[in-house]
Amino acid sequence: MTHAQMEAGWQLFAKYTINVPVRIGILLAAVRISHKHQFIGGSLFGYILGLILFVWTGGMQQRSGWCSFLYFAGQYLPLLGNGFVSLSALHMSVEIYPTVATATSAGVINAFGRLGSIIAPFLFECLHQWQEFYYSMIVFSLMLLFLGILLPAKFPTAEEVEVVLPFAMKKSSNIA
């Protein structure tokens, strides 16, 4: 049972209509915004604010026009957060680690994302009310925001990292 004034088909149409410009906006903004700011903005405005709006307006039986707008914003802001956080995390994995470890670091990021998407439905079923699931997601998003704040403003270059972290590639290049 939905409590929105729009029917489900129109809601889905609106979602996919909004999805395309949001993704294009994420790609255009990613060129201008540092990875740290993408990470912080995505987790703060996308995840935390979006989830709070969704939980607050999701339980309302009757929504005014303004509350319906906030309800849809709460549904679509996490898409914005997901775009910024995942894009910046993948770009940081390429910038931080040397070429030898880049694929591994990107793979670890993808693996944790997949693990979270596998665990999320089970967590949702274990909780007694649907709001508790979103409250737990807000807590995880707060932890993500804290980790984003701890990111350095400038990452070391590949040469600086290879000086600090000797990899097996240097040893194997002497053998060949």
pLDDT tens digits, residue range 49-105? 988 988 888 888 788 888 888 888 888 888 888 888 888 887 777 777 666 677 777
pLDDT tens digits, residue range 162-175? 666 665 455 545 55
Q: How far apart are CA 92 and CA 10, in angstroms?
A: 37
Q: How far apart are CA 45 and CA 144, in angstroms?
A: 12
pLDDT tens digits, residue range 112-139? 888 988 998 898 888 888 888 888 889 9
Domain boundaries, the chain: 8-150
Q: What is the pTM of this model?
A: 0.69
Q: Does domain 8-150 have CATH number 1.10.8.60?
A: no
- The Cα-based distances of 160 to 95, 97, 152, 153 in angstroms read 11, 10, 15, 16
**Are the beta carbons of 51 and 137 closer than 8 angstroms?**
yes
Q: How far apart are CA 108 and CA 121, in angstroms?
A: 21
